[in-house]
Structure 1
Amino acid sequence: MKKRLCKHTSKPLPDHVYNDPKGRVGIYRYKRPDGKFKLVRGSHAEICRKAEHFNAIRQRTSAGSGTIQHWADRYIHWYELQNPIESEKSSWKNRCRLIRKFACDFNHLQLGEATVPRLTAWWDTLTYDQQHNRRAAFSSFFQWTMSQGAKELRSKTPSTRAIVLYG
């Protein structure tokens, strides 16, 4: 397969990176997994570095098992990319620890198999303070997984699902 070359530097472009159709210098297109393009600005070296990072994420997610552990790792990685300053704080490290512990406890389950009754039974074993400490982190985690196309927690009533997500 012939490698695509940058119009301006004549260097090869990484996978999923294309030249700007208007021929602008320092602007490239990255093809996302859903087939849409995102304009990315930067030098050729910066674009190669970014593409390598995003291609690694793409490969990891396509080969992912769909377990809660897999989704927890993806969420933590995504959050740290979105909020680099926040990721240095001890509060974030504590939330990561809680999410990872939860993921280890339920690692045998696919995310779609995590039903409200299963999670509620586990949630009820926690003390008030433990529930209070986990509520915001779990709410954010489950909302993110649903926004990424993961299955919703199966429940007969929306209010029951809200209890698990919001405590």
Structure 2
Amino acid sequence: MARPKKIRMWGDTPLPHNLYPDARKRENYWRYCLPDGRYRVFSASLEDALRMAEEANKMRGEKVQRKPTKAPDRASFAFHAIRYIEWRVENDSQLPSKASWQNRCNALKRFGEDFEAISIHKAKLADLRKWWESLSYHQQHARRAEFNKFFNYLMAEGLCKLESNPFTTADDRPRLLEKGKPIKKRQRLTLEAYWTIYEKAGELGYEALQVAMGISMLTTMRRADICELNFDKHLQGDHLRKTINKSEAQRDSLAASHLSFNLKTHQQLGKLINRARELSLRNYRCPYILSHTPKQRRTGKIKEHVCQVIPDRLSDMFTEARNATGLYIGLPKNQTPPSFHEVRSLASDRFKRMGYDVKSVQQLMAHTDERVTQSYQAGHGIDYEEISIYLDEKAIGGSFTDKPQTIKPTG
């Protein structure tokens, strides 16, 4: 006899079958398990999520008649959003390589879907304002620059009849205003909490997370840069060399921050690289410095090797290890626990406490704005900036071993 399914609770409310809380624990986000085993993530209040899940459960097994897709109307935003995207790529071949470009394309396409019933030449500022004000501050901020270019394109083509570009930043014209930036309530990561999470990561079998936390502490690199580190590409003799992604996206390649770390000087960093080599051998010779053998061994567009650790997976590891420590239980609702990015902030503070000047730390964190001289020198090859400042065991309150720990395998 089959065992009855366990009733899952959300507070005092039982959840219907196939409805689960968000894996990232975001407020008012849910997961619904589809018949094929995949999960559909959506945002809704608890009451709406319960209703939607119950309705979906009733329809399981029924064949859904899909309407045949049709090409968007030539007078619609959707049609010209596609043309605009193609035009942008034709005029800037570097766009597809930028991490944010796909997100901008998706935002434009969703905008076209939201305004499917309104032709471009009939769109009014009031219609746009209602949609705009339904977005959060971060959604508005992420869209404004590209939507400003999009509407300039539409107006230059003579398609949009609005008085002015609604996404302009000029105050002398009718435009859409951004919401006020919400106050950050994310907790700072203390040195004591850092080491507690680090040890918990080892207990969970997340040595890749320990290596990443160590590299972030010693170099202040962001998670995307750390996950991209490759033995063949970024280790050159006794040096770890990396072009910082964010600075490269904001400037041209030759004017970006190219950092070099001499592993003989940065001995703690050298220990972590040695440890990563040992892990790579255990993880099917993964070419990336961060490697972890998952339960589901898959590759795809964003994973070249089954043991490669991508940024979102690294964040999930950190969240799991942080929550397992119990350090942040009972936080007020308007505050959130530190994320992996807070390791970078903690590292900056440790450099400051070691007495290093702000300019040296800015160079390390790729925050400097003094790029005029580099623009004159561009075109003569890449010159890596040798990083001379470093943190010793006393500064970070501990030591990173270069020998992998004996751990139990985990997903």
| Structure 2 equivalent of residue 25 of structure 1 | none
**1-side partners of 2:115 and 2:163: how far apart?**
16
- Greater shift, 82-91 or 98-107, is seen at 82-91
**1-side partners of 2:162 and 2:143: how far apart?**
17
Match of 2:173 among 142, 155, 159: 159
Q: AA paired with 1:85?
A: Q
Deviation at 1:104, TM superposition (A): 0.9
Deviations 1:118-143 (A, max 9, x none): 00011111111111111111111001
| Structure 1 equivalent of residue 119 of structure 2 | 110
- The correspondence of residues 115-134 of structure 1 with structure 2, limited to 5 A, is 115-134=124-143
- 2:155 matched to 1:141? no
**Following superposition, which runs of at least 4 residues in structure 1 exceed 3 angstroms of deviation?**
none
Deviation at 1:88, TM superposition (A): 2.3
Percent of aligned positions that are identical: 33
Q: AA paired with 1:150?
A: L
Q: AA paired with 2:116?
A: N
Deviation at 1:110, TM superposition (A): 1.0
Deviations 1:20-57 (A, max 9, x none): xxxxxxxxxxxxxxxxxxxxxxxxxxxxxxxxxxxxxx
**2-side partners of 1:66 and 1:125: how far apart?**
24
Deviation at 1:154, TM superposition (A): 5.0
Say whether the 8 Å CA contact 2:76–2:116 is kept in structure 1: yes
- 2:95 matched to 1:86? yes
Deviations 1:106-127 (A, max 9, x none): 1221111111000001111111
**2-side partners of 1:152 and 1:90: how far apart?**
33
Q: How many positions carry a matched residue from both structures?
A: 100
**2-side partners of 1:99 and 1:151: how far apart?**
16
Q: Name the larger-Rg structure.
A: 2
**Structure 2: tracts of 5 or more residues without a match:** 1-72, 165-171, 179-411
Deviation at 1:86, TM superposition (A): 1.5
Deviation at 1:82, TM superposition (A): 0.8
Deviations 1:39-76 (A, max 9, x none): xxxxxxxxxxxxxxxxxxxxxxxxx6211111101100
Cα 1:154–1:118, aligned 2, differ >3 Å: closer, same or farther?
Answer: farther
**2-side partners of 1:78 and 1:139: how far apart?**
15
**2-side partners of 1:131 and 1:69: how far apart?**
19
Cα 1:113–1:154, aligned 2, differ >3 Å: closer, same or farther?
Answer: farther
Deviation at 1:159, TM superposition (A): 2.0
**Structure 1: tracts of 5 or more residues without a match:** 1-63
| Structure 2 equivalent of residue 65 of structure 1 | 74
